[in-house]
């Protein structure tokens, strides 16, 4: 998303038109190609929107789609509602802005993801610009899940090391030292826009499960790639899906950190031997 999102953030930081609540607006249907704001609970939006965009085709749709990679990271459960309340405001008799408290909640969760990718929180989304009153604005939900905080979650980190053709002892040490070890196929494909997209292809197999949840690990690794885009560019080569042995830890705050990646080629007998015998190895 690097180049595209940079342009989008620049446009947000320096909006060409300041929205005036007293200006004339019109209601239009949210177009199907505006994927970011589908399934938000309403089908019509106001133009110009709260960012001053007045053209669906030239401004609203392309700039909204620039936010898809960030929303896919799941940085906050209400990030979509917050952004769409600005780029596709609901068509009601009164204007509904997001509350300052909602902006702060989304910013606190999503700004670190943007920072991980080299971008600051946009000036146009400065939370001081939004109303403090909870009754006339879009407020945050109180609780999403009582136990979500106990689940491992991906976070921004320094890029883990990639080691080709490792020695048997190197792999055994990694399996012993880290909380978990999995095998997964990582894939890099190019979108129509020219931007790369990184995916976890197929099943994730456990060598050492540790604190990971079987039904959530594939999604967890996918989110890690989306958050750590700059690392993903370095780690995942274009072409066919590559099988990796990945080891890592879960930090005290619940964040997942990958420590080592071993590309697993057919010739890598040491990786195969280590994954079979590590439980009997004296760590």
Residue-wise pLDDT tens digits, 215-271 = 899 999 999 999 999 899 888 888 889 999 999 999 888 899 999 999 999 889 999
Quick one: residue 271, left, alpha or beta (phi over 0 = left, psi -120 to 50 = alpha)?
Answer: alpha
What are 14-39's pLDDT values in tens digits? 443 344 555 678 899 999 999 999 99
Averaged pLDDT score across all residues of the chain: 86
Q: Where in the chain is the domain with CATH 2.40.50?
A: 148-280
C-beta neighbour count of 280 within 10 angstroms: 6
At 150 the pLDDT is 62
Q: Where in the chain is the domain with CATH 1.10.2000.10?
A: 2-138
C-alpha to C-alpha distance for 101 and 13, rounded to whole angstroms: 21
CATH number assigned to the domain covering 148-280: 2.40.50
Domain 2-138 is in which class? mainly alpha
């Amino acid at each position: 998303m690097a180049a595209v999102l940079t342009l989008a953030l620049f446009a947000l930081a320096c909006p060409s038109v300041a929205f005036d609540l007293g200006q004339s607006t019109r209601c239009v249907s949210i177009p199907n190609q505006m994927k970011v704001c589908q399934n938000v609970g309403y089908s019509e939006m106001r133009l110009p929107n709260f960012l001053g965009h007045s053209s669906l085709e030239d401004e609203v749709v392309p700039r909204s789609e620039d936010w898809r990679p960030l929303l896919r990271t799941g940085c906050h459960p209400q990030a979509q509602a917050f952004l769409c309340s600005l780029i596709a405001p609901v068509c009601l008799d009164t204007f509904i802005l997001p509350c300052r408290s909602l902006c702060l909640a989304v910013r606190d969760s999503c700004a670190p993801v943007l920072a991980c990718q080299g971008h600051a929180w946009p000036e146009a989304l400065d939370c001081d610009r939004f109303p403090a009153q909870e009754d006339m604005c879009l407020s945050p939900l109180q609780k999403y899940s009582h136990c979500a905080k106990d689940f491992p979650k991906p976070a921004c980190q320094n890029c883990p090391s990639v080691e080709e053709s490792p020695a048997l002892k190197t792999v055994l040490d990694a399996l012993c030292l880290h909380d978990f070890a999995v095998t997964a196929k990582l894939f890099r494909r190019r979108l129509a826009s020219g931007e790369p997209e990184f995916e976890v292809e197929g099943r994730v197999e456990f060598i050492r499960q540790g604190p990971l949840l079987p039904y959530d690990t594939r999604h967890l690794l996918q989110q890690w790639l989306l958050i750590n885009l700059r690392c993903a560019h370095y780690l995942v080569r274009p072409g066919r899906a590559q099988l990796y042995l990945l080891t890592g830890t879960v930090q005290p705050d619940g964040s997942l950190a990958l420590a080592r990646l071993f590309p697993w080629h057919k010739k890598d007998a040491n990786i195969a031997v280590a994954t079979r015998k590590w439980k009997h190895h004296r760590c």
